[in-house]
Structure 1
Amino acid sequence: MMQHDIQHLIFDYKTPFLLNALRESEHKSKRQGPGSDFYKKSVFLADPNPARIDLASSVTDPFESIYVKTFRQRSKLDVLTFIDGSDSMAIPGKVDLLSLSERSISCSVAARNDNYQSYLFSNSIHSVTDSDLLYQHYSPSENLSRHNTARAFKDLERLLPKRRSLIFLLSDFHWSNEKLNQVLNTLSGHYLVPIVIWRSTEYENFPLWRFVQIRDAETDENRLIFVTPKQKKLIESTFADRKIFLNNQFQRHNSRAFWLIDQFSAQNLSEFFHGH
């Protein structure tokens, strides 16, 4: 991928917590030292370091106090991406959005000099080092050979760093309530960003007055539906209700979802992190 293409994938992320680490990067840590982020001014007796005396503040202070500058060191952040490898993610178009998202996260983390790991959860756990693995996993030939519910999420905890980390969870979240709560509870000690990947073709533009076969990729059951205006509206409202439900569940676990429907945008991800 060319450099200018990579630049279009990079977004600016941040966490709501300070790190406690020694490794140098672009994130503020709890540790004070000669880093590049000014933290505060202190009186000399509280932090007696002659090398950091703030002459301007000391000379102009009417009480003739001596001040020193205190800085926060920068630290590396652990960033992880967990990818849902279940069959519902193999719907046409989803793997492209998934691959772009993972690539964008990887490039953004590299640009910030943070630590990065990416994993695909199917019936086992796979380390993701390039998008070829994703396209191979979701290929029709692979999905015809087995029913995949991504049961490896039950082993999620063993991959988690001991210190608080930034975790991206990429899925359509067509999960049972039990599985959803289990995964969210496991990740509750970290800064979780669920990226919900949907295709509008899953719930929009069904042809009226025709039989349409709909497969529930999580249960592997097929249903033949005759699409009436009422049935079409029911499908759309089901997804609308599901979106409300998921947002409520994420909020209960102190996280907020980034909704990715049909089109990926690194700019939108930057705005997500900065509250726009």
Structure 2
Amino acid sequence: MTRIRELHYRVGGAATGLFPGAHRSRSGDAGFEFRGHAALQDAPDARRLDLHASLRDPFGNWMVRLHSERKSIPVSVVADLSASMGFEGAQRKLDVLADFTESLAWSAWRMGDSFGFVGCDERVRREFTQPQTRIRGAGIALAQRLRTLQPGGRSAAALREAHRHLPRQRALVFLVSDFHLELDALAAVLDSLAPHDIVPVLLWQPAEFALSATRGLAQVREPESGAQQWLWWRPALRERWQAAHDARREALLSLFRRRRLAPLFIEGAFDADALTRHFLA
């Protein structure tokens, strides 16, 4: 068996979960991170008495030290499973998604976090919907199903409904797609996920945007509808093709910047270390 690569992630704010975990929080009294003082009658634990703070208190109260506890968070993947995700270059996009899902689910279990998955094309795919769980091997079975999927959805419209399947608690949500959808539709998806911490993950293959021949007759295919067209490649059209690709990338980055989101581009195979560096940057 191939060893699952572990990755490391974190959230920007304090965790608000009830279960112990690996993330900083502002709750609890008996952790390891000093948060402040409280009167003994408000936090009745004489083991944490602070004599110096008690002597300084102008009202003569006995003061105890409060230490925040580490908490867990929900981690979820909202994935585009439309036809364009079946594109195969050096790697198949769905295989990259499977590797990402397997690694994230394993890492969430290692950190004490719950893991969930919502797969969408024209509808929310029930067979690719995993409610939040702390089962150790949840990501392995899900990844196996993703590797055998032959996507046929003509759009990813159901991404706008994915928030209904996420936990009410603020979660870390990875929105995984090739983002070949209208910007207005993408903005609506991001707005629906706004209560959570969102990390857009763009799965691109270089072969999607590369043109093999300098000039000549070439067949191109629209990945969602399957419509095919013959084009005569020439230098001017090649330049327009590259300019359109650059403009699309900049438009996506602009949309993410307006919402203060830091996207992760995976252009090729999945690299767990690259995702870890994304959170440490």
Question: Partner residue of 2:231?
Answer: 225
Question: Partner residue of 2:10?
Answer: 14
- Measured in 2, the distance between the counterparts of 1:219 and 1:86 equals 10
Unaligned runs of 5+ in 2: 131-140
Paired residues of 2:77 and 2:116 also in contact (CA < 8 A): yes
Paired residues of 2:83 and 2:154 also in contact (CA < 8 A): yes
Find runs of 4+ consecutive structure 1 residues off by over 6 angstroms.
Answer: none
For residue 95 of structure 1, report the CA deviation from its aligned partner. 1.9
What's the Cα RMSD here? 2.6
- Measured in 2, the distance between the counterparts of 1:181 and 1:263 equals 27
For residue 186 of structure 1, report the CA deviation from its aligned partner. 0.3
Aligned residues: 262
Larger CA deviation: 118-127 vs 157-166: 118-127
Correspondence list, 1:169-248, <5 A: 169-248=175-254
Question: Partner residue of 2:68?
Answer: 72
Question: Partner residue of 1:114?
Answer: 113
- Measured in 1, the distance between the counterparts of 2:148 and 2:154 equals 14
Give the secondary structure class of the aligned counterpart of 2:248: helix
Paired residues of 1:211 and 1:227 also in contact (CA < 8 A): yes
- Measured in 2, the distance between the counterparts of 1:86 and 1:230 equals 31
Q: Does 1:30 align with 2:30?
A: no
For residue 227 of structure 1, report the CA deviation from its aligned partner. 1.6
Paired residues of 1:38 and 1:69 also in contact (CA < 8 A): no
Question: Partner residue of 1:257?
Answer: 263
Paired residues of 1:85 and 1:148 also in contact (CA < 8 A): no
- Measured in 1, the distance between the counterparts of 2:20 and 2:209 equals 46
For residue 87 of structure 1, report the CA deviation from its aligned partner. 0.9
Q: Does 1:101 align with 2:110?
A: no
Correspondence list, 1:116-135, <5 A: 116-124=115-123, 125=125, 126-127=128-129, 129-135=141-147
The percent identity for this pair of structures is: 23
For residue 221 of structure 1, report the CA deviation from its aligned partner. 2.7
- Measured in 2, the distance between the counterparts of 1:19 and 1:43 equals 21
Unaligned runs of 5+ in 1: none
- Measured in 1, the distance between the counterparts of 2:222 and 2:50 equals 66
Larger CA deviation: 83-92 vs 203-212: 203-212
Give the secondary structure class of the aligned counterpart of 2:105: helix
Question: Partner residue of 1:137?
Answer: 149
Give the secondary structure class of the aligned counterpart of 2:25: strand
